[in-house]
Amino acid sequence: MRKNEIKELTKAELQIMQPLWIRKKAFVNELLEDMPEPKPAYNTVSTIVRILEKKGFVSHKSYGKTHCYFPLIEREAYLNVYMKGVLHSFFSNSLPNLVSFLSKKEEISLDEVNEIMKIMESHKKEKE
């Protein structure tokens, strides 16, 4: 699946992908352990994982009747597509508009501002 074909995950799908990206591979019962309370039923998690498999986000290796699932789409690749969608849909593809919005809506400490400035300076040097 190419990056431009990556679809947005539902909240339930994202709750499964997050621990799967961290673990790199997992059985359904392991994914269930990582989910917040109230935990969904085992069958619910199993169904969502199969949906993710149909969407091309995960695949599995069979061990008898059980399956060990692993991500096919890296977290970074999904995040890149997702954030581009947010930038396009809400901020007219303007990164300054996004940063301005975040700085006004969130309590940002001086340390965080300095850290952001360092990141931007480093990125600027790479572009020069």
pLDDT in the model for residue 109: 81
Considering the domain boundaries, does residue 17 fall inside one? yes
Q: Which domain holds residue 58?
A: 3-71
Instruction: Verify that 65 and 107 share a domain, yes or no.
Output: no
Considering the domain boundaries, does residue 79 fall inside one? no
Distance (Å, rounded) from C-alpha 115 to C-alpha 90? 25
pLDDT in the model for residue 4: 52
- The pTM of this model reads 0.79
Counting the structural domains of the chain, the total is: 2
Instruction: Verify that 15 and 47 share a domain, yes or no.
Output: yes
Residue 68 contacts residue 60 (beta carbons within 8 Å): yes
Instruction: Verify that 67 and 7 share a domain, yes or no.
Output: yes
Label each residue of the chain as H, E or C.
Answer: CCHHHCCCCCHHHHHHHHHHHHHCCECHHHHHHHCCCCCCCHHHHHHHHHHHHHCCCEEEEEECCEEEEEECCCHHHHHHHHHHHHHHHHHCCCHHHHHHHHHHHCCCCHHHHHHHHHHHHHHHHHHC
Instruction: Verify that 30 and 66 share a domain, yes or no.
Output: yes
Residue ranges of the chain with pLDDT lower than 50? 3
Instruction: Verify that 16 and 62 share a domain, yes or no.
Output: yes
Considering the domain boundaries, does residue 87 fall inside one? no
